[in-house]
Amino acid sequence: MIRFVVSRLIGMVLVLIVVSMVTFLIFQAVPLLAKSSPVYYYIGKAPATPELLQSLTHRFGFDQPLPAQYWSYLAGFFGKSVTDGTSAAVQCPFPCFGYSFRRNELVSTLIGQALPVTISLAVGAAILWLIGGLTVGTLSGLKPGSLVDRAGMTGALAAVSLPIFFTGPVALLIFVYTLGWLPDNNGYVDITQNPVGWFLSLLLPWICLALLFAALYARLTRSNVLETMNEDYIRTARAKGLDRRTIVVKHGLRAALTPVVTIFGIDIGGLIGTTIITETVFNLRGLGTLSIQAIRDLDLPVLLGVTVVAAFALVIANFIVDVLYGFIDPRVSV
C-alpha cells in the first residue's frame, strides 16, 4: 500500500513537471518563434520605447537561454521576490505564480479568490449529477426498454444536447427574472458570510452544469448496470435464493458503479478551470472567468497560474481515484 502510494506520488510529480514544461514552452517560448517578445504578454501591452523593452526583457530574464529560463520559472513556484513594475519589490511566497501587471495583484491572490467559487460550483454540481445520473441510469439499466428507461434516456439525450449557454439564461429568465423564486444577486455570495445566500446564488449554476454531466452519467450507468446484470455471478446470486434488493444493490451495483469512480475522478478534477461557460453565464468570478479575462487582457502570468492549478487538480483527482480503486476492487493490488 505504502509502496503504491509512493510510486503514484512520484508519477504525479513527474506529470506535473511535464505539464509545467509544456505550459512554459507554449507561453514563453512560442512568442519568441513568432518574433515577438513575452514581455508584451507579461505587461499586457507594448513597451513605450525600445529601451524599455530591452530593460524589461533583461529584468524578466527573457534574454537568458531557454533551459535557464525554465529553471527560474520552476524555482519561482517556491517563492521569490517579483517586481510590480514600479521597481518596488513584492514578496511572492509559495505557491508563486508571479505578478499580474494588469491587475496589480499577485497571481496567487487572484487564484485564491477565484478557487472557492469554482470548487463550490464543481462540488455542488457533482453531488447533483451523481444523484441524478446514477438514479436514472440504474433504473433504466435494470429495466431496459421499459417506460422508465425510455423516458430517462430521452431526457438524457435532451440534457446532453442543450448547452449551458442556452439552459443558463433560460433558467435565469424563468426562475430569477420572471417568477422571482431566486434572488438576483448577480454573482457569488461568500459561504462564510451568508451560507443561505451562497446556496441560492449557486443553485441554478449547479443544476445547469449538473444536467449535462447527469445525462452522461445516466447513459454510462445504464450500460454498466445492463452489462453487470447479465453477468454469471448475478445468476449465481439468484440461484442462491437472494432477494432482488440484495442482488441489485450488493451484487449488481457494486460492480456496475466501480468504473464510474474513474470517470468521476477525471471529471471533477477536470472541472477546475474549465467551468468557463457556466461561470460566465452566471457571472461567477471563478477560475474560468479569471482565465477568460486573462486571455482578453493578454495577462500571461494569470493564464500560466490557472493552467498549472487546473493541471494540479486533475492529477490530484486521478491520484485519489487510483488509491480508492485499490479499496473498491480487490483484484487491484495496492
Number of residues located near other proteins, criterion CB under 8 A: 22
Please tell me whether residue 242 binds other proteins under the rule CB under 8 A. yes
Please tell me whether residue 254 binds other proteins under the rule CB under 8 A. yes
Window of 69-77, 94-102, 304-312, 326-334 that interacts with other proteins by CB under 8 A: 326-334
Extended strands (E) in 112-264: none
Which amino acid type is present at position 130? L
Please tell me whether residue 243 binds other proteins under the rule CB under 8 A. yes
Please tell me whether residue 331 binds other proteins under the rule CB under 8 A. yes
Helix (H, G, I), strand (E, B) or coil at 225: helix
Window of 35-43, 88-96, 219-227, 234-242 that interacts with other proteins by CB under 8 A: 234-242
193 vs 230, beta carbon nearer other proteins: 230
Please tell me whether residue 65 binds other proteins under the rule CB under 8 A. no
Window of 120-128, 132-140, 184-192, 243-251 that interacts with other proteins by CB under 8 A: 243-251
Please tell me whether residue 332 binds other proteins under the rule CB under 8 A. no
Please tell me whether residue 231 binds other proteins under the rule CB under 8 A. yes
Helices 254-271 and 300-328 sit at what angle, rounded to 10 degrees?
170
Which amino acid type is present at position 245? R
80 vs 143, beta carbon nearer other proteins: 143
Residue 90 DSSP label: E
d(CA 277, CA 194): 25
Please tell me whether residue 245 binds other proteins under the rule CB under 8 A. no
Q: How far is CA 194 from CA 73, 172, 281, in A?
A: 39, 21, 22
Q: Which of 240, 249, 266, 296 binds other proteins (CB under 8 A)?
A: 240
Which residue has 513597451 as its cell numbers? 47
134 vs 308, beta carbon nearer other proteins: 134
**CA dihedral of 80, 83, 87, 91, whole degrees rounded to 10:** -50
Extended strands (E) in 18-112: 80-83, 89-92, 99-100, 105-106
Contact (Cβ atoms closer than 8 angstroms) between residue 47 and residue 58: no
Please tell me whether residue 232 binds other proteins under the rule CB under 8 A. yes
d(CA 311, CA 18): 10
> What count of Cα atoms within 13 Å lies in the side-chain half-sphere of residue 8?
18
Residue 153 C-beta: closest distance to other proteins, Å: 20
Residue 221 C-beta: closest distance to other proteins, Å: 17
Residue 243 C-beta: closest distance to other proteins, Å: 6
Which residue from 118, 282, 132 is spatially nearest to 210, judged by alpha carbons? 132
Extended strands (E) in the chain: 80-83, 89-92, 99-100, 105-106
Please tell me whether residue 236 binds other proteins under the rule CB under 8 A. yes
Please tell me whether residue 55 binds other proteins under the rule CB under 8 A. no
Please tell me whether residue 148 binds other proteins under the rule CB under 8 A. no
Please tell me whether residue 330 binds other proteins under the rule CB under 8 A. yes
d(CA 239, CA 232): 10
55 vs 236, beta carbon nearer other proteins: 236
Judged by the rule CB under 8 A, the positions of this chain that interact with other proteins are: 231-233, 235-244, 246, 251, 254-255, 258, 328-331
